[in-house]
Structure 1
């Protein structure tokens, strides 16, 4: 079964570049600086240092944005070298030769490239580079001097583990690239850079292992990224929504994570990782429903523990989707399916409740969602307290007032706890959305409504794709070999192959001959 047969060829076209500022530089230093000031509207933080190269009459200028560069680096490695370390014998009359000498012998910086247009200059300055102009030349030297403040590497808040690495991605793209190189020290690890956002012009990097990933997957990811046409992408969620296959689906079609270990494991499976400058969340593409139910901790513990945790997550997923609707269906339409003693107990607890089980469930489910959102938005010191205490107080008050039955409070509480057991937050939200659909179906048609809803959800899942790969893989299409690491987890020494459905170039994850 070929991956390219799954690829969804949507009609998004590659965006056209805006050449409105693609003005060629001229030989006059004053005119070039004047054009730059006009383009940027002379911002207060634009620093222009004009001076004469030591021992000559050659005028030059350094230009950068204060706060985006390392000021000490600019002074020590650029300006100081031009004013103190250059000797008269090195200064030719030819401006091009002088620029070459500055580039190759004088400037003690690691990354230098040439720029020829006003667009090149403005984009690099706004990205934290320093531009060196030389009077009499229609090109400049662009020197990488980024040095803004950034957050230190910390443990991910949204994906904490009991056992595992404690480092997480940050908002700085260069730091995230370093983290990936630390985890995978392979000469085939590749980083392909894009620039997205017509106005923000943010850097985006696609990471993959060249001799592992399937070429068609990489080609499709690149095609979709080139189709992005927006003013700004402040967070990787913008990229996710732009390149996903079905924007109407509640299911996340790309996995997001703050964990470098999770991202590196995905790369070794033949997937790609998309990193956006300014976002600590990277995207993993493609993804499947089965992989969204897995956690890195499954592999850090022994296989028996990892298997047990996965089974518990699938049970939690069932409870998160079906438990309230099953309660409504059995109580309202099929009480004969409930044991007699339990039926009497439920009937006694519902005595005096003015609402039907459907209205009860909706009231409690909406209340629980409000408490979740309130707990997430409040300061951390009181957010958890509000969530727990608020749920207990409101639930007890509702029971005492006779608005809902005690059993309904238990059902909704179990449903909420089960949704928190899922490792992927986006998937848990999808289940919470589907929950309301099942509540309505069970309230109208009983178990028949639940069965109809279950069939509809499954039809949607098997038709859903992630970067062209079926979302239900390896359940359907079926790859039995991949079931070794799906719900159950085989011991690590026996996991010798990469996922079969990814059709990787290098199919072996271990060398059998050396084992």
Structure 2
């Protein structure tokens, strides 16, 4: 049989899913009230783990009971003081009184257990899930329901400044991996009953908890419904990070531009929720997803709104120029050197020609080699340990660049052009947006090397056309520029004063459009009271 026929035959074979024996066993089990049967079922599922604990004891000295828990996920002091002691000792006000078996469950819940997170559960799969989450399960002989007590205690890193988003002026706290802590940070920022948190579980094996956060009365209900629909359609065995969900819920899966924004900062999430967006938090990930997303969010920072608008408008414009600069500068250089050298001033053209005199490669090859080398160096700097990475970046930029120029491998002007483009990409606050621009730099260089400035313009037109076609949950990607909205343009290229932006972004269709009251705007128009005017105090003295 030939290789082609074998491949064709193997392609027709249907892949049969491997049955998950543990899941089938869990679903088939039921609570019968028999303690020994429950212990046998639980042991068959968890018995191969050395950190799984099974503790037998007697409730009030009469009724047989057993406790199941993972020793590496629980608080041992809470087990001893808040579970074993209340279960084993009769409450003081009930001492000397007989407690019938039919009243045992109510007495334990209402009189004995002094723990806030306790419930009863009669479904076997839910008991297994509770143990896996770090909760403690207590079962009593004869009861069809077991007690599920929250004892989860997992070591966590301290709340610290976000590593991916440097803070100049603003809160120095960032999300961590535990979902409960992240929700607490968010509720601390938004102390209002309008903040809604809806949770669901994703991942057949990981059962990762996902929280959908929104503001009741601000967020459009259709947007919330669409977010829940896209998340509910995800059927995957494991969700290990929020990046998994990002790739499933974005509109265009082939676009290099990110259509979902992410952040480590609770204050940034709170600001977006107040505009009418939806945030998605995943247990185990310190990055929150924000939808819908528009392009202008990727060159804006939280500091734009905590500083005065005149200064931050100038910095935002510089940031936008650096973003465009990093995209088109290498391709324009290749187009001018290869096809239109007459566009360069004479004195500068002589200097460029003198620098490239000993270079044996055409401009496009030279730029591509240096560009690829810079990308490899950047990736190596990120992956290496911090102490070694800093030294490598300095050595790579100074020593290797200077050696390449001295050896005639590259011209000095090319090294300068690539260095400026790289610095421009560093000025983009969002890493995923900067990565997209770095990727698009290469096709623009190819077009410039083949067609010159016409190729650059064709490439830019294609990129712009693609941006115009993109949407994030139905919101045009270039909003509020296209379609035009005057209110939104106050926070587009420049950052207008806060009292100019008295309405929420209209492209998000918020239920409550007013952000700043008209009364506050009118008060700002009035002249200030010079209560500490020196002339006023002089008249008082006289």
Q: Normalising by structure 1, report the TM-score.
A: 0.94
Equivalent residue for 2:147? Answer: 141
**Which of these residues, 170, 186, 190, is aligned with residue 184 of structure 1?**
190
Equivalent residue for 1:300? Answer: 306
Matched, 1:508 2:510: no
| Residue aligned with 2:127, SS | helix
**Which of these residues, 94, 97, 102, is aligned with residue 101 of structure 2?**
94
**Which of these residues, 318, 325, 330, is aligned with residue 324 of structure 1?**
330
Give how far 1:19 is off. 7.0
After TM superposition, the structure 1 = structure 2 runs for residues 324-403 of structure 1, keeping only pairs within 5 Å, are 324-403=330-409
Equivalent residue for 2:73? Answer: 68
| Residue aligned with 1:498, SS | coil
Please say if residues 329 and 443 of structure 1, whose CA atoms lie closer than 8 Å, have aligned partners that are also in contact: yes
Equivalent residue for 1:5? Answer: none
After TM superposition, the structure 1 = structure 2 runs for residues 144-155 of structure 1, keeping only pairs within 5 Å, are 144-155=150-161
Distance in 1 between residues matched to 2:162 and 2:241, nearest whole Å: 17
Higher RCO (CA 8 Å, separation ≥ 6 residues): 1
**Which of these residues, 175, 179, 200, is aligned with residue 169 of structure 1?**
175
- For 1:131-169, what per-residue CA distance to the aligned partner results, in whole angstroms no more than 9, with x for missing partners? 111111222121111111001100011101221111000
Equivalent residue for 1:84? Answer: 89
Equivalent residue for 2:252? Answer: 246
Distance in 1 between residues matched to 2:498 and 2:483, nearest whole Å: 25
Equivalent residue for 2:461? Answer: 455
Please say if residues 68 and 148 of structure 1, whose CA atoms lie closer than 8 Å, have aligned partners that are also in contact: yes
After TM superposition, the structure 1 = structure 2 runs for residues 206-355 of structure 1, keeping only pairs within 5 Å, are 206-355=212-361
Distance 1:52 1:41, change over 3 A: closer
Equivalent residue for 2:503? Answer: 497
Please say if residues 291 and 486 of structure 1, whose CA atoms lie closer than 8 Å, have aligned partners that are also in contact: no
- For 1:298-349, what per-residue CA distance to the aligned partner results, in whole angstroms no more than 9, with x for missing partners? 0111101111111011101111100000000011011122212211111111
Distance 1:183 1:90, change over 3 A: farther
Please say if residues 153 and 167 of structure 1, whose CA atoms lie closer than 8 Å, have aligned partners that are also in contact: yes
Give how far 1:85 is off. 4.3
Distance in 2 between residues matched to 1:388 and 1:442, nearest whole Å: 30
**Which of these residues, 56, 69, 75, is aligned with residue 50 of structure 1?**
56
Distance in 1 between residues matched to 2:186 and 2:217, nearest whole Å: 17
Distance in 2 between residues matched to 1:175 and 1:235, nearest whole Å: 16
Give how far 1:50 is off. 1.2
Which has the larger displacement, 488-497 or 141-150?
Answer: 488-497
Please say if residues 298 and 306 of structure 1, whose CA atoms lie closer than 8 Å, have aligned partners that are also in contact: yes
| Residue aligned with 2:26, SS | coil
| Residue aligned with 1:21, SS | helix
Aligned residues: 497
| Residue aligned with 1:509, SS | coil
Matched, 1:482 2:504: no
Please say if residues 480 and 489 of structure 2, whose CA atoms lie closer than 8 Å, have aligned partners that are also in contact: yes
Distance 1:20 1:447, change over 3 A: farther
| Residue aligned with 1:47, SS | strand
Equivalent residue for 2:537? Answer: none
Equivalent residue for 2:428? Answer: 422
Distance in 2 between residues matched to 1:305 and 1:91, nearest whole Å: 76
Distance in 1 between residues matched to 2:26 and 2:475, nearest whole Å: 40
| Residue aligned with 1:403, SS | coil
- For 1:426-454, what per-residue CA distance to the aligned partner results, in whole angstroms no more than 9, with x for missing partners? 00000000011111111111111111111
| Residue aligned with 1:177, SS | helix
Please say if residues 263 and 273 of structure 1, whose CA atoms lie closer than 8 Å, have aligned partners that are also in contact: yes
**Which of these residues, 37, 59, 62, is aligned with residue 64 of structure 2?**
59
| Residue aligned with 2:499, SS | helix
- For 1:275-315, what per-residue CA distance to the aligned partner results, in whole angstroms no more than 9, with x for missing partners? 11111111111111011111001011110111111101110
Give how far 1:92 is off. 3.2
| Residue aligned with 1:492, SS | coil
- For 1:195-224, what per-residue CA distance to the aligned partner results, in whole angstroms no more than 9, with x for missing partners? 111001111101111111111111110001
- For 1:48-95, what per-residue CA distance to the aligned partner results, in whole angstroms no more than 9, with x for missing partners? 11111124x211122111111111112111111112243456663234
Distance in 1 between residues matched to 2:512 and 2:114, nearest whole Å: 41
Distance in 2 between residues matched to 1:296 and 1:198, nearest whole Å: 37
Equivalent residue for 1:32? Answer: 38
Equivalent residue for 1:470? Answer: 476
Distance in 1 between residues matched to 2:350 and 2:134, nearest whole Å: 72
Please say if residues 490 and 500 of structure 2, whose CA atoms lie closer than 8 Å, have aligned partners that are also in contact: no
Q: CA RMSD in A?
A: 1.5
Distance in 2 between residues matched to 1:201 and 1:109, nearest whole Å: 25
Structure 2 portions without partners, runs of 5+: 1-19, 524-542
Distance in 2 between residues matched to 1:378 and 1:157, nearest whole Å: 16
